[in-house]
Structure 1
Amino acid sequence: MTDKISIFARFATAVSEWTGRPAVFALALASIVAWGLTGPVFDFSETWQLVVNTGTTIITFLMVFVLQNAQSRDTRAIQTKLDELILSSKAENRFIGIENLDEEELKRLNALLGEAAKRDRHAREPVLSTDGDGLKARGDDTEEAPPLERTAPR
């Protein structure tokens, strides 16, 4: 695609991949255990406590930005791929861009889609019923579930 990925983006991706490994977690855990074991040596002093508090605060502060950058790019890439699938399929194009809706609009749209899915599932369910002439599978003469109402944003 393109080689114009920023230095920070490459750094954020590398750091997030590296820090997500089990070995790095084990290293962090071992560091905290070693710090705890050195407590008696340093008489549990304020300086001893300050070392771990300062170190973990700085690392956490910086990791928030690195991980957020990597996650935001991943989310944008996934969203773009989903948009491409919508455009190249029989799915409704009006769903492209819904990630920009506010939380309430997304909840309403999700509820509408859930209802449409239930109707579709119910219409396709082969449930046996009696109609006076014997057993008949529901769905044999039922229509396809109606499409989602035209309430999604355009």
Structure 2
Amino acid sequence: MFGKLFTQIANHVALAAGKPLTFVLCCLIVITWAVTGPIFGFSDTWQLIINTGTTIITFLMVFLIQNTQNRDSVAIQAKLDELVRVGKARNAFIGIEHLPEEEVEQFRERCEAAAKKADKLLAERKTDKSTQPRRPSKTPKSKARAQA
């Protein structure tokens, strides 16, 4: 429950943080703060407001953005694994970067297990073929020799 809520909040905050309007608003806040400096006599409280605000926002954003990047990275890897594993990828992988980290990890684990299973089957088939006796080839040369 908490993981899904956190994922939704992290997605919205990361999306909003990357918009030009957010940058403009942040610039306006800094300009407003700078303009009010003379009004408040450049007091310690005036300086503390911007320092505290930017420190808290930076601290929280580091974790939110890192969470979003981690999920995106795992989701991209799962999609690539699926593309490598099969020629026709399943549509279920579209948009998995929006899922909570645990669900994306489950997708990745299933892809990995399926790839290992496919590798094992291929290895077994190769082993079966190498242990079977070879049949004589029926090429035109061998037919000509058989008739002579």
TM-score by length of 2: 0.56
Q: Secondary structure at the match of 1:58?
A: helix
Choose which of 8, 14, 17 in structure 1 pairs with 2:15: 17
Q: Distance in 2 between matches of 1:46 and 1:15?
A: 31
- Figure out how many residues of one structure are paired with residues of the other and give that number: 89
Identity %: 50
> Could you list the runs of 4 or more consecutive aligned residues of structure 1 that deviate by over 6 angstroms after TM superposition?
none
The equivalences for 1:1-154 within 5 A come to: 6-89=4-87
Q: Could you tell me which amino acid in structure 1 is paired with residue 85 of structure 2?
A: L
**Structure with the higher fraction of residues in helix conformation:** 2
Q: Could you tell me which amino acid in structure 2 is paired with residue 46 of structure 1?
A: D
Q: Distance in 1 between matches of 2:86 and 2:3?
A: 27
In structure 2, runs of 5+ residues without a counterpart are 88-110, 113-148
Q: Distance in 1 between matches of 2:19 and 2:46?
A: 28
Q: Could you tell me which amino acid in structure 2 is paired with residue 26 of structure 1?
A: V
Q: Could you tell me which amino acid in structure 1 is paired with residue 81 of structure 2?
A: D
TM-score by length of 1: 0.54
Of structures 1 and 2, the one with the larger relative CO (CA 8 A, separation 6+) is: 2
Q: Distance in 1 between matches of 2:3 and 2:46?
A: 41
Q: Distance in 2 between matches of 1:50 and 1:5?
A: 34
Shift of 1:86: 1.4
* Aligned-pair Cα RMSD in Å: 2.2
Q: Distance in 2 between matches of 1:29 and 1:47?
A: 20
Q: Secondary structure at the match of 1:6?
A: helix
Q: Secondary structure at the match of 1:41?
A: coil
Q: Distance in 1 between matches of 2:19 and 2:9?
A: 16
In structure 1, runs of 5+ residues without a counterpart are 90-95, 98-154
Partner of 1:122: none
